[in-house]
Amino acid sequence: MGKILAVIKREYLQVVRTKGFIIGTLLGPILMALIIMIPILSSLIAVPEQETIGVVDSTQDIYQELDKKLDFKMKDGRRRYLLKEFEAQARVDDLRNALRQKVLDKELSAFLFIPENVGSGGKAEYVSEHVSDFSEIRSIQEALSGVVIGKRLKKEGLEPQKIAQYIERVDLKTIKLTKKGEEEEDTGGTFLISYLLVLILYMTLFFYGAIIMRSVIEEKNSRVVEVILSSLRPFQLMIGKIFGVAAVGFTQYSIWALFGLAASRYSKPLISSFVPAAEFTLPSIPAYIFVYFVVFFILGYFLYGTIYAAVGSLVNSEKEAQQLLMPVSLSLVVPMLMMAFILRSPSSSFSVILSLIPFFAPVLMLMRICILLPPFLQIAGSVVLLSLTILFMIWLTSKIYRVGILMYGKRPNIKEVVRWMRYK
Amino acid sequence: MNALEIESISKRFDSFYAVKSLSFLIPQGTVYGLLGPNGAGKTTTIRMIMNIIIPDEGNIKVLDQSMDEEMKSRIGYLPEDRGLYPKMKVGELLLFLAGIKGLKGEKAKQEIEFWLERFDLIDWKEKKVEELSRGMQQKIQFIVTVVHQPELFILDEPFAGLDPVNTKLLKDIMLEMKEKGRTIIFSTHRMEQVEMICDNICLINKAEKVLEGNLSQIKKQHGKNTVLLEYEGQASFIKSIPGIEKIDDYGKFMEIKLKEKADPQHLLSELVGRIKINKYEIREPTLNAIFIEKVGENDGKDLSSH
């Protein structure tokens, strides 16, 4: 036991001191914060400019009302859109050319051409150097449509204000029903965070697995492994290594969790101090999701960590490992690819079976738990299956590992590896 | 007491025998030479002694007890494939490796200081292993082997890559250990080193023992019909002198094995005047010659190319 502890300690200190670990640990939350903050901050930083839009109103009837409708104010109280009317001329092409020139000269940011037949299906034209700002185009389109529709209604003798009331849209409020009968409002944020958790689980399984594998390869390549084995058993070395990297993972997750807690506590006042009027709610996640996240991360870590250790013992370099890692990566990637399907029907028998397969379970079961809490029996079943698989993999790997770490040179084929298991 | 008792151990990898019913005893306080050509099974034997691989058959007793994991901390092992963690600091590395041998805390630190001083490496304690020269890494590796004061040493090619000064330092430490009653298993291809250091030897070839025993007795058994000649000049004519069985010519030095009835005095008279003779010694054969003879018996082709 003392020997295993020594291996754990060495492994832990070696990884924790690397630049990669420090950068990854600090950069992770910063990156995550940026992803969440950027939309909020960008609305702060990107102050819209006042735009002057030339309007050619061939109907002679729309401009006044359009000007009234497009009365959006910016923060400083000025109008967002300043309209400037140009009289329709008989020679339309000359006017267009003149307006084009004004846009190119930045005198106007755009011009709007309203044809005479706009009330009966004619298309209005919006000409600008930038036509990719959807919100801007939509406001102009909506304002123009509003005016034209109003005209049409009046022509038919109807009251536009009344009609607007009649056809008001109904909003849908989404409510999630859980087994406990509680109804909670399901905001998009909850789903987003759940998705983020699955993604983090998936990425860290890859990441920590690779650390274990790299460490095994380093010991093989530097030939230090024989010195180590003159003091302890191969199994002790392997288990120490896996637990050492697990301690690394624990450290990293703890730091991330602290960042997360700090963020959930302080980010709202912080953002509010920048944007007093900012309206947003921080997504909340039920505690059981975190509990299951920890459970499935630990199980997934030991399953994949063991496999990565076996792969490391079989090869001489990371490059050589790539080929062997294909099936391993695949069994991690496949669940991510199944996500769209699972999202649509989380309780279909196909989803249930997939999420019970031990190699997929860490990612898929967690995904299902996030979407719609499955029956406890299914979760327990996958935990039991996973645990049994882990025990089997540890047994199998220890048989391969003890021979593999002393084999230098040619990478063994499957037949040889199977024969290794029979060695005493 | 025997430091090591090996009783007909065998190890098979698939259909290939790496070691086949090998037995030998090593008395405590002696230096034992474990010899053999490349691929003979030395490393497998050593790994079995170290419990790194488990023999299919046979028994190994170390220091009067069956070999087990506990025993590992009483053995110091210097493998032929040297290796240290390149990214670790020298001091930390030594502390870790001593720790898994059961040497911990203040005692471990003191021992490490002592040995670093002795090998003149104390200034490198805080440096990473990869910053050290190969020779320095060799010395660190040797410290790893001795730091926990083992009772049995297994040294596989300990002098490889060392300059003469450090070779002497290492040899002196080996002798010191022997005087303290420690036992040393010494594996090498350098027969002149074996002759100078070992009390007993075991020669393995193709997984099996071909020769074992006390070194001086073995040499005596091989008779006093060998001539060691140090010379200058053109000596290729010697081959045609009758009574010569075998010649091993190094250019300035020659080991000549005479036929059973041949007279060394006669050979000397043939040589006088034709080459300059600096030394003419009649003695038992060198271990080198015995090695070549024994291994060659089984594997003549392989040897002529080496």
CA distance B260 to chain A (A): 47
Contact residues, chain B, for A423 at CB < 8 Å: 13, 53
B153 to chain A: closest CA residue: A230
A408 Rama sector, left if φ>0, alpha if ψ -120 to 50, beta otherwise: beta
CA distance A218 to chain B (A): 8
Q: Which of A69-73, A85-89, A174-178, B191-195 has the highest mean pLDDT?
A: B191-195
CA dihedral (B7, B13, B16, B20) in degrees, to 10, reads 0
pLDDT of the residue at A280: 54
pLDDT of the residue at A155: 84
**Number of C-beta neighbours around residue B302 at 10 A:** 15
> Is the pLDDT score of B200 beyond 90?
yes
- pLDDT category at A179 given cuts 50, 70, 90 is low
pLDDT of the residue at A78: 81
Predicted complex ipTM exceeds 0.85: no
Please state, in angstroms and as integers, the Cα–Cα distance from residue B71 to each residue in A350, B66, B151, following that order. Answer: 55, 9, 10
pLDDT of the residue at A270: 67
Average pLDDT of the segment spanning A388-402: 93
Mean pLDDT of chain A: 84
pLDDT of the residue at B224: 78
Mean pLDDT of chain B: 89
User: Tens of pLDDT along B7-27?
Assistant: 999 999 888 899 999 999 999
Q: Are A371 and A194 in contact (CB under 8 A)?
A: yes
CA distance B51 to chain A (A): 8
In a 13 Å sphere around the CA of A343, the CA atoms on its Cβ side amount to 10
pLDDT of the residue at B60: 94
Report the share of chain A in percent with pLDDT over 90. 28
CB contact under 8 A, A230 and B54: no
CB contact under 8 A, B83 and A222: yes
User: Which domains are assigned to chain B?
Assistant: 2-219 (3.40.50.300), 224-283 (3.30.70)
B55 to chain A: closest CA residue: A424
Residue A416 to residue A408: CA distance in whole angstroms: 14
Q: In degrees rounded to 5, what are phi and psi of residue B301?
A: -60, -50
CA distance B258 to chain A (A): 45
User: Tens of pLDDT along B223-280?
Assistant: 778 889 999 988 888 888 888 888 889 989 999 988 888 888 888 888 888 899 999 9
Q: Is the Cα dihedral A385, A391, A394, A399 positive or negative?
A: negative
User: Which domains are assigned to chain A?
Assistant: 2-39+188-420 (no CATH), 48-164 (3.40.190)
CA distance A245 to chain B (A): 17
pLDDT of the residue at B132: 93
> Is the pLDDT score of A278 beyond 70?
no
User: Tens of pLDDT along A397-423?
Assistant: 999 998 888 888 778 888 888 888 888
Query: Three-state secondary structure along A237-256?
Result: HHHHHHHHHHHHHHHHHHHH
Contact residues, chain B, for A226 at CB < 8 Å: 47, 52, 77, 79, 81, 83
Residue A297 to residue A304: CA distance in whole angstroms: 10
Contact residues, chain B, for A408 at CB < 8 Å: 81
Q: Which of A3, A222, A225 sits opposite B100 (nearest CB)?
A: A3
Q: Which of B13, B14, B79 sits opposite A227 (nearest CB)?
A: B79
Residue B30 to residue B2: CA distance in whole angstroms: 10
Rg (CA), chain B: 22
Number of Cβ pairs closer than 8 Å across A and B? 69
CB of A413 within 8 Å of a chain B CB? The answer is: no
Written as one letter, the residue type at A335 is P
Which residues 204-243 of A are in CB contact (within 8 Å) with B? 218-219, 222-233
Written as one letter, the residue type at A277 is A
pLDDT of the residue at B302: 44
CB contact under 8 A, A423 and B13: yes
User: Which of A10-19, A61-70, A212-221 comes out lowest in average pLDDT?
Assistant: A61-70
